[in-house]
Amino acid sequence: MWTKWKEYINQNPKITFKEYFREEVLKQVKTIPAALEGHQNTPIDIATIYFAYPNGQLIKLLDKRGDNIIKNNEKSLKKCGEIEEKIANLLKEKNEEFKRPVAAFVTFIN
């Protein structure tokens, strides 16, 4: 879906991935008979969408940096600088990867 959205935004640059995802999921759900069995006339909508990203490595580094900031001593503050460098390098290497969702948590309502 990410690739299709990337193509789609060339013609519609103002639509976000979340908006595109929402519309595509609703289209798919409404075409699956088993999903609507006995409820064909019941309106269905999406209440919330939360995305998960492949940023576990970044979160671990941010957590380490926070732990060292809390310690607030010379040794731990020196480590912060090293961790900052790792964070900067990671963001350079994986910036685009971090933007692409790897999972979605969708709550439906009717």
| Cα–Cα distance, 42 to 92 (Å, whole number) | 47
Query: Is a pLDDT exceeding 90 seen at residue 8?
Result: no
Structural domain of 24: 2-109
- Looking at the structure of the chain, the number of domains it has is 1
Among the listed residues 49, 47, 50, the one whose alpha carbon sits nearest the alpha carbon of residue 110: 47
pLDDT digits (tens, 9 = 90+) for 43-81: 788 999 999 999 999 999 999 999 999 998 888 888 999
pLDDT digits (tens, 9 = 90+) for 19-52: 999 999 998 887 877 666 676 667 788 999 999 9
Q: Helix crossing, 56-71 with 74-99: angle to 10°?
A: 160
